[in-house]
Each structure stands twice: as structure tokens, then as C-alpha cells.
Amino acid sequence: MGPTASGKTDLAMALCEHLPCDIISVDSAMIYRGMDIGTAKPTAEELARAPHRLIDICDPADTYSAADFRRDALAEMARSAAAGRIPLLVGGTMMYYKALLHGLSGLPAADASVRATLQADAARRGWSALHEDLARVDRVAAELIHPNNRQRLLRALEVIHLTGRPISELWRAEGTVEDYTYFTRWQADDGAGLPYTVTQLALAPGERHVLHERIGQRFLAMLNAGFLAEVRGLMARGDMTPELPSMRCVGYRQAWSHLAGETDYDEFVRRGMAATRQLAKRQLTWLRKWDQVHWLDSTGSGVLEKALKKVGPRTTLISGQ
């Protein structure tokens, strides 16, 4: 686990050269097909060296939940273990790790009929009216969910319709959140409920400014690799909107705004880098409150050797990008 641009993929691939590991991606952006540059998805050469499971499994117009991830990750972990190998989970989506280790049983599954009713209501009254509805029954959730974030607004209202309880109440009951900005402290265990021994590694540079420099360098490299052309192609499909979860991923949201004429290029770059730094900060906030984690300094010497000392031949690893 670790913040974006901390070097987790490099460490994971190095581990694969020393242990019989199968990499399983834990990244809520890499699941989407056609979103390669802006997600820093492993290159074709890297994938040839170390295939990654659970990337390119979802169309950008579709949605994919933490519960979906838990189901798919457990299936991939079982396949890997059955082959006598080690599932190596790598990514920075902390909610996915939380779902995997602890489950999300308190939150009901999506209901197509309820959602259709809410969407029809939004079409008739407007999304701001639905946000006002949410504020009347769940002030905490309304403060955390932007009125333009239609997906999460629908989910919050859907949960109320299905359970009669505010979603924020269920967040607290689960010790989890739908948004990184709302964090209820919870104690991570060592994988209770999973049929695995779990070792959790957290990777980050020792100095914050180093991480910021890496973020800036990687964002510029994405631009040079054609990131804006990638987003322009997604926009040209005709079935994409800026409210979709895929287009709300860091970088894509800012690129869409720029290509829509809402910001100039320099402002886009500034906002994109700032949003990525904010993501890294949120990821680190989660990790600092996470128990049973072995920290590794990605700028220190012997990172691979230190990681290998923490794991054994029968260990399920959790690392991250």
C-alpha cells in the first residue's frame, strides 16, 4: 500500500523476481479500459514481465464498487493460491483494501428500480433538489458529497430508500467511508476472516517533498505521452459524462474541464498536480491510522531486501501504487 507515485509497482515487480507471486491490482482507476496514460497503468513490457490481474476489466461508462472489487479479488486470490503461488495485492485504493480485509456487509447492494426512480426524480426536479433532500435526512453525507457528484448522491439516497437509515450511520457502523475526506478511525487486523496469512507493506518516500517532486515529474511525463489525447478520445465516445466515476479520477477530471474550455492549459496542469498531491495526502492519512503495517522508505537503500525479510513463502502480500 502507499501513496500514488511512491514506487509500489517497481517493488512489486521486483518481488515477483524473487517469490512466486501473482500481482492483483488494487487500483480503482486501472480497472477501466482505455484509461492507460492518466492512471500510470503498467506498460506492455511491464505486463509481459509481471501480468497484473484486475486491470482493464471495466468499461469507463460503467461503475465498479468496493464490493465488486472484494468479490473479484477473492476469486483471483483463490486461483493464485490453488496454483501454489502468492497473491500480491498492489495499489493505492485504500477503500478496496478495507473492503477486502473487513467486508462491506452493512451496505446494501444497488437496486436498479430504486436508482431509476431517483434518476427520474432528478430529471424532473434537478440534481440540486435531490442534494437538498439528502441534506434534510443525512447532513453528514450531504456535506461530504458534492451536488455534482451524481453517482454518490444517488448511492446515498438509494441506501436510505433501501434501509431507512442514513448512509453516514452505516459508514460509522462499518468503520468505513464512501469518501476519503471522511475518516472514522478503525483498527485494521491481520486479515481476520480471510483464509490467508496477510503481511501489509506500506511504501512511501521518507520526505514529503520527494513525493511531490515525483508526482510533478510523472504528471508531466503523462502529458508528454499523450494524456490529453487519451481523454479527448474518451470524450468523443458520446456516452461519457464528467460525473461518471471513471472521469472523476484524479487527472481525468481536470483534463475534462480543460478540454471543455473551462480552464486554460497552465491552470489544468496546476490543478492536476494539486489534485494528485491531495490524493497522496489522503492515502497517507489512511495509512497512518492503519495497524499491522510494515513501513518501507522508497528512497532508502535495500528496500527489496527489507520487504523480503517481512514476508515468507506462504504469505499473502499487500503492497501498493
Residues 109-118: what's their mean pLDDT? 88
Quote the pLDDT of residue 257. Answer: 98
Whether residue 207 has pLDDT greater than 70: yes
Count the alpha carbons within 13 Å of 318 in the hemisphere toward its beta carbon: 28
Q: Residues of 95-134 as b/e, b for ≥16 C-beta within 10 angstroms?
A: bbbbbbbbbbebbbebeeebeeebeeebeeeebeebbebb
Q: Specify the residue for cell string 492536476.
A: 272
Mean pLDDT of 74-81: 95
Beta-sheet pairing, 293-297 with 52-53: unpaired
**Contacts from 310-313 at CB under 8 Å and sequence distance 24+?**
310/199, 310/201, 311/15, 311/19, 311/199, 311/201, 312/197, 313/19, 313/86
Q: Looking at residue 182, what is its pLDDT? A: 33
Give yes or no for residue 188 having a pLDDT over 50: no
**Would the pLDDT of 233 be above 70?**
yes
What does the mean pLDDT of the chain come to? 89
Task: Between 144 and 228, name the one with better pLDDT.
Answer: 228
How far is 232 from 236, CA to CA, in rounded Å? 6
- Residue 316 Rama label (left phi>0; alpha psi -120 to 50; beta): beta
Reported confidence tier of residue 320, pLDDT bands at 50, 70, 90: very low
The domains found in the chain, sorted by start residue, are 8-104+186-318 (3.40.50.300), 112-174 (1.10.20.140)
Cα three-residue angle 305-319-292, rounded to 5 degrees: 90
Whether residue 109 is predicted with pLDDT greater than 80 in this model: the reply is: no
**Which 8-state DSSP code applies to residue 204?**
E
In whole angstroms, give the CA distance from residue 86 to residue 107: 30
pLDDT confidence of residue 105: 58
Query: What are 262-299's pLDDT values in tens digits?
Result: 999 999 999 999 999 999 999 999 999 888 899 999 99
Inform me whether the pLDDT recorded for 124 exceeds 50.
yes
Q: What is residue 292's predicted lDDT score, i.e. its pLDDT? A: 87
Per the structure block, which three cell numbers stand in for 8? 509500489
Cα 254 from Cα 242, distance rounded (Å): 10
Say what percent of the chain tops pLDDT 90.
72
Spatial CA neighbour of 308 closest among 14, 26, 77, 51: 14
Q: Which residue has the cell 441506501?
A: 159
pLDDT tens, position by position, 21-43:
999 999 999 999 999 999 999 99
Q: DSSP code of 32? A: B
**pLDDT per residue as tens digits for the range 237-272:** 999 999 899 999 999 999 999 999 999 999 999 999
Distance, in Å, from the CA atom of 132 to the CA atom of 134, rounded to the nearest integer, reads 5
pTM: 0.78
